């Protein structure tokens, strides 16, 4: 068999076996009532640790712009405001509590910082993470209360959330994903059943998991993600590593193992500033099921070189391609472009 033919055959097999993620316009088309567009971003710390000192701290930067709460999401607002639901992991407390946990990092922000989410077009947040109880139970309750006051939906642990879009109920739940034991499985199944019983047609799971600064998911992450989809979840969102991890398509459903940082007050100058907005479009079929297509928007966590100014900004040109290349390198069976 000629060598050129063999090479062509191998290239064809590789292209067929690796699904290329369909990229669509982020502009929502008026009248397409059965297309539901979800945006997801990673770790959002709208606050700081008191031990940081004030220089370059999240609250200091906000004061420098006269507490303009539209500032953090200003450069991505045109993207997030055009979707149906934006989901973020809220990795801080919003509280006036002063008693804090004994741990390396203890994050808190003013309760009024919830307006940052409202002004940024973030409608739903996950609270299942390792900073929810940084200011103990009072901090957790204060956070939930201020989110309710600002009409921002939240989920995590026993709390689930449903948002209705054009008559379609989108259900969301979240847990920390450190282990994949019987208890974890039971909790996941309980949340899925609860949302299905409430009429959710689309179910999104959000997991705080993985190893910090590791660009590849571990076995626990993969097991939890696959178990979730096997039992009815339509989209899996991951966070905690603070860096990008890859995407996977499993049984027609997408998994984002780590969405990295976004508006991140937890680090004044992170070494790795790459991040992305994941957009998933659910399109209803004639059989009342949904197909999924994705769009990836590479970003930096900052709009300023050499420091974190807490203003995520879409990347262009070579920097945009560099993040896409990283994501493709880390992904097991998805190519984004």
Per-residue pLDDT of 54-89, as tens digits, reads 999 999 999 999 999 999 999 999 999 999 999 999
The tokens describing 249, both together, are: 């398509």
From CA 141, how far away is CA 297, in angstroms rounded?
A: 34
- State which fold the 33-270+302-330 domain adopts: Purple Acid Phosphatase; chain A, domain 2 (3.60.21)
Verdict on whether the full-model pTM lies above 0.75: yes
Query: How is residue 337 written in tokens?
Result: 């472009």
What is the model's pLDDT at position 287? 82
Query: 177, 262, 267: which is closest to 227 by C-alpha?
Result: 177
For residue 117, what are its two tokens? 């989410």
User: In 3D, which of 44, 28, 47 has the Cα closest to residue 36?
Assistant: 28
Share of the chain above pLDDT 70, in %: 90
Q: What is the pLDDT of residue 22?
A: 45
pLDDT in tens, 191-233: 999 999 999 999 999 999 999 999 999 999 999 999 999 999 9
Asked if 236 and 287 touch (Cβ cutoff 8 Å), the reply is: no
With the C-alpha atoms ordered 120, 188, 200, 24, is the resulting torsion angle positive or negative? positive
- Residue pair 275/243 in contact (Cβ under 8 Å)? The answer is no
Structure tokens at 300: 């930096």
* pLDDT of amino acid 21: 54
Distance CA 228, CA 250 (A): 11
pLDDT over 50 (residue 134): yes
Residue 251: helix, strand or coil by DSSP? coil
Contact status, residue 207 vs residue 87, Cβ threshold 8 Å: no
H helix or E strand, kind and range, residue 289: none
3-state secondary structure of 259: strand
145, 127 in Cβ contact below 8 A?
A: no
Mean pLDDT value of segment 220-249:
99
Q: In a 10 Å sphere around its CB, with 0-12 CB exposed, 13-18 middle and 19+ buried, how is residue 144 labelled?
A: middle
41: which DSSP letter? E
- Rounded average pLDDT over 225-249: 99
Residue 34's pLDDT is what?
A: 82
Reply yes or no on whether the pLDDT at 102 is more than 80.
yes
pLDDT at 9 over 80: no
173: its two tokens = 């739940």
Please report which confidence band the pLDDT of residue 17 belongs to, taking 50, 70 and 90 as the band edges. very low
Q: Angle at the Cα of 289 (from 20 to 21), degrees rounded to 5?
A: 10
Q: What is the largest CA-CA distance in the chain?
A: 75
**Domain edges within the chain:** 33-270+302-330
Mean pLDDT, all residues of the chain: 93
């Amino acid at each position: 068999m000629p060598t050129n033919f063999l090479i062509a055959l191998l290239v064809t097999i590789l292209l067929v076996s690796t699904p290329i993620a369909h990229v669509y316009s982020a502009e929502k088309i008026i009248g397409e009532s059965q297309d539901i567009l979800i945006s997801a971003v990673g770790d959002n710390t709208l606050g700081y640790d008191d031990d940081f000192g004030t220089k370059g701290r999240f609250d200091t930067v906000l004061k420098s712009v006269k507490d303009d709460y539209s500032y953090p999401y200003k450069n991505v607002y045109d993207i997030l405001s055009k979707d149906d639901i934006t989901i973020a992991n809220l990795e801080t407390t919003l509280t006036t509590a002063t008693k804090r946990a004994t741990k390396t990092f203890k994050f808190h922000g003013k309760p009024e910082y919830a307006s940052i989410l409202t002004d940024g077009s973030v409608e739903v947040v996950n609270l299942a993470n390792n900073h929810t109880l940084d200011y103990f139970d009072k901090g957790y309750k204060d956070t939930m209360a201020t989110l309710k006051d600002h009409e921002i939906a939240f989920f995590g642990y026993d709390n689930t959330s449903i948002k209705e879009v054009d008559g379609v109920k989108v259900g969301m739940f979240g847990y920390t994903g450190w282990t994949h034991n019987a208890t974890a499985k039971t909790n996941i199944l309980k949340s899925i059943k609860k949302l299905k019983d409430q009429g959710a047609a689309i179910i999104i799971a959000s997991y705080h998991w993985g190893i910090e600064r590791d660009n590849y998911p571990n076995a626990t992450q993969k097991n939890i993600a696959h178990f979730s989809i096997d039992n009815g979840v339509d989209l899996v969102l991951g966070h905690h590593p603070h860096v990008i991890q890859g995407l996977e398509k499993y049984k027609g459903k997408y998994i984002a193992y780590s969405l990295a940082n976004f508006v991140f007050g937890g680090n004044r100058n992170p070494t790795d500033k790459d991040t992305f907005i994941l957009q998933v479009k659910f399109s209803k079929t004639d059989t009342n099921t949904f197909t999924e297509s994705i769009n990836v928007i590479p970003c930096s966590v900052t709009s300023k070189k050499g420091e974190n100014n807490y203003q995520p900004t879409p990347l262009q040109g070579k920097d945009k391609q560099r993040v896409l290349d990283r994501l493709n390198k880390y992904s097991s069976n998805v190519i984004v472009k």
